[in-house]
Amino acid sequence: MMTLLFILFATSMWLGWHGKRKPAIFVFLVTIALCAFWFKHHATSELHIDL
- How many Cβ atoms sit within 10 Å of the Cβ of residue 31? 19
- Interval 1-51: pLDDT, tens: 789 999 999 999 999 999 999 999 999 999 999 999 999 988 888 888 888
Q: Does residue 23 contact residue 42 with C-beta atoms inside 8 Å?
A: no
* Predicted pLDDT of residue 47: 80
Q: Measured between alpha carbons, how far is residue 20 from residues 2, 9, 16, 25 in Å?
A: 24, 14, 5, 9
Output Rg (C-alpha) for the chain, integer angstroms.
Answer: 15
Amino acid 48: pLDDT:
84
The predicted structure's pLDDT at residue 49: 84
Check residue 21 and give its pLDDT: 96
Give the predicted TM-score (pTM) of the model. Answer: 0.81
